[in-house]
Structure 1
Amino acid sequence: MPDLGLENSEEIHEFVKQYSGSKPIKRVLIANNGLAAVKCLISIRQWLQKQFNTSSVVSFVCIGTPDEMDAASHYLKLADEIIMAPRGKNSQNFANVDVIVSLALQAKVDAVYVGWGHASENPELPKRLLEHDIIFIGPSTSSIVASGDKIVSTIIAQSIGMPTVDWSGRDVKIAKNEVDFHGLREKATIRTVEEGLEAISKYGIGVPMMIKASEGSWIGIFIEVWIAKFKIRLTGKKEENGKKTSGKIEECSD
């Protein structure tokens, strides 16, 4: 069956109207690589074929890098178009909001899909895309902040009665219609060794304890089995990176 053509297809415009959409999506930028990109390409094309008897009504523009090109990554073989981003770690390409927005504008896409990982948990991306009338295929900025942030998501969970382990923000609760997520994070975050030791004492946090970075330069998550070594561990991480850090500590569950 020939391409329906988004501009002239009453069927597609009626479909968009039926589901209260604002406009048909003709071009999508896939700001991810590997499995996330492949699943997006295959799944949406299968749905388009089933819904409209053709998969060509949407064009997919994939972000490539010199590294991905050298590796002949499979997702690039499935792309309708490839647009290049800088070589290097993901902070230079797939996780870089400035790069993604710039490429989306350059490719003149209607929507951006990020999948999981990389920039998917960065609330700035949907906000920036909205400024350019580009659809973000994913949750809203507020939803990303609420569920993607380690500290805020734990506060929300304990505020609605879900059991949580003892941690440094145990007393912080979210009020109905609360929107100041930054303020909540501030109340529950530890930034110094002294604040950490105070939380351990106040909430009776035992060992082994888990120390999780929320921002800054801590290296992911690590576990400490001796409270006496907590100060050495935390100080060492800060000195190693030479930057301000923040995060939370919690007792490890079985």
Structure 2
Amino acid sequence: MFKKILIANRGEIALRVHRAAHDMGIKTVAVHSTADADAMHVRLADEAICIGPPSATDSYLNIPNIISAAEVAQADAIHPGYGFLSENARFAGIVEEHNIVWIGPSPDHIRQMGDKVEAKRTAAAIGLPLVPGSDGAVADAAEGIAVANKIGYPVLVKAASGGGGRGMKVVPDAASLGSLMAQAKAEAKAAFGDDTVYIEKYLSEPRHIEFQVFGDELGGAIHLGERDCSLQRRHQKMLEEAPSPALTPTQRAEMGEVVRAAVAKLKYRGAGTMEFLYEDGKFYFIEMNTRLQVEHPVTEAITGIDLVREQIRVAAGMPLSVTQDQIRFAGHAIECRINAEDPATFAPSPGRVIDYHAPGGPGVRVDSALYAGYRIPPHYDSLIAKLIVFGDDREQCRMRLKRALEEYVITGVKTTIPLHQALLDDPDFIAGDYSIKWLERWLAKRAEG
């Protein structure tokens, strides 16, 4: 087992990895920008090394500085967390070239699944159901129209290297395909340096369902059930729950076996997430995330399995700690992403935290690196806390979450806590009746008053 792990990230996920490592008796090295010198993960780690100024480009995305920090600290392994360099195949390869263990999938798998066109080809080859669409990249409007005529309008033009909704356009008819495709290609080029796009059928009211998967280097492969991540604003998740209120136990078991078998065929190592759109009882693969997800705690809550610990074990060459038939699903969990944002306008709200009090009680977990007096920097993502609540069933979980949100105190900056409080009382949410488009409509009505 490793003696020392460098955590190539910041905030709550860096703290989460630190805690898992310390639970295993492994020392940690925190890297940080000058803006994060007083961050909680820096204070708690066994060692801390500054890797650059506040800009992420010059610090958390600075590969030479991170590698140098690992060598200076004599770290055995690097855990990338999520975001930043976590799905950067080049970084993963460089880590391994320096004889440091990469706590994640192989660089080849990261590269393979990072290109969405290649990911779709791979998904088809390993038996995953796909949204009807182009076989690969679409070069021009004429080719796009031919594909769209075959699968039927509306269609979705998507950037092959994209994410977060950039380089994505809904096309209602043939007349608008040329101009919208050109816009998507231009956005993709500006955002990702790659204007490759592909086309798929546009689903009207799907849910976003993802399955947590794991593989080891000894041929082991498991799934840990699904998460419902349909509550999204501008393609960014706001609240996640497990299990999904839309699936039956039979659907869960059947689709779980499909993804488990796919992971085995892929010979995948480490944690991953198979993401699907789900509509009218059918699943359609959209992408695979080759890293730990922000919402991983809800899976931990319903399975009792520490996913970061499992990542570390697998990276050390050990087998998965459980087999598929040993996994038991129990209860219900919901995670609220709490951002330092104005709950009405979503404008970022960095600044000094004056008062901080985390909720507690049965079934309540808070993943956060906040403390009273901490100054939230303006340079990074606005996520400041994840409130995860577990209950015997969905309604008990919802009521515990309402209570926990009432207890949560963060002053000095604006947060999205009031938004989550309103959301939990909506009849559609209470019924579990929502799609990936529901939250945008709900927010629009709320803005209108």
* Fold conserved between structures, TM > 0.5: yes
Q: What are the within-5 Å matches in structure 2 for residues 89-100 of structure 1? A: 89-100=55-66
- One-letter code aligned to 2:180: R
Alignment of 1:102-251 (within 5 A): 102-169=68-135, 188-201=136-149, 203-207=150-154, 209-215=155-161, 220-227=166-173, 228-239=175-186, 244-251=194-201
Identity %: 26
Quote the offset at 1:140 in angstroms: 1.2
The residue number in structure 1 matching 2:16 is: 39
Aligned partner of 2:33 in structure 1 is: 65
Q: Closer, same or farther in 2 for the Cα pair 1:218/1:198, shift >3 Å?
A: farther
Displacement of 1:121: 1.2
Q: Following the alignment from structure 2 to structure 1, what is the Cα–Cα distance between the partners of residues 170 and 142? A: 16
Instruction: Report the Cα offset of residue 218 of structure 1.
Output: 10
Q: Secondary structure at the match of 2:179?
A: helix
Name the structure with the higher strand share. 2
In structure 2, the residue corresponding to 1:215 is in which secondary structure? coil
The structural deviation recorded for 1:115 is 1.7
Name the aligned partner's letter for residue 84 of structure 1: C
Question: Relative to structure 2, which stretch is displaced further, 235-244 or 89-98?
Answer: 235-244
- For residue 245 of structure 1, report the CA deviation from its aligned partner: 1.0
SS of the aligned residue for 1:36 comes to: helix
Cα–Cα, structure 1 residues 190 and 101, in superposed 2: closer, same or farther, change >3 Å?
Answer: farther
Instruction: Name the structure where helix makes up a greater proportion of residues.
Output: 1
C-alpha distance in 2, partners of 1:34/1:27?
19
Residue 194 of structure 1 deviates from its aligned partner by 4.3
1:16-43 CA deviation, whole Å, 9 max, x = no partner?
Answer: 5xxxxxxxx3322110112221111111
**Structure 1 spans left out of the alignment, 5+ residues:** 1-15, 17-24, 49-57, 170-187
Offset, 1:109: 1.9
Q: CA deviation at 1:238?
A: 4.5
Residues 185 and 197 in structure 2, CA contact (< 8 A), matched pair in contact too: no
Local SS of the residue matching 1:85: strand
The separation in 2 between residues aligned to 1:164 and 1:37, in whole angstroms, is 34
Q: Distance in 2 between the 1:96 and 1:211 partners?
A: 32
**Structure-2-length-normalised TM-score:** 0.40
Larger Rg: 1 or 2?
1
Question: Which 5+ residue runs of structure 2 have no aligned equivalent?
Answer: 207-449
Tell me, in whole angstroms, the C-alpha distance in 2 between the residues paired with 1:107 and 1:194. 56
Report SS of the residue matched to 2:200: strand
1:219-249 Cα deviation digits (max 9, x unpaired):
6353414233332223235556666511322
Give the aligned residue type for 2:4. R
Cα distance, 1:42–1:247 mapped onto 2, change above 3 Å: same
Give the distance between the partners of 2:131 and 2:137, measured in 1 at CA. Answer: 16
Task: Please give the root-mean-square deviation of Cα atoms over the aligned residues, in Å.
Answer: 2.9
* Cα drift, residue 195 of structure 1: 4.0
Q: Deviations over 1:120-143 (max 9, x none)?
A: 111112211121111111111122
Cα 1:252–1:100, aligned 2, differ >3 Å: closer, same or farther?
Answer: farther
Q: 1:45 to 1:236 in 2, by over 3 A?
A: same
Confirm whether residue 83 of structure 1 aligns to residue 73 of structure 2: no
2:79–2:103 contact (8 Å) kept in structure 1: yes
For 1:229 and 1:245, locate their aligned partners in 2 and report how far apart those are by CA, in whole Å: 19
For residue 179 of structure 1, what is the aligned residue in structure 2? none
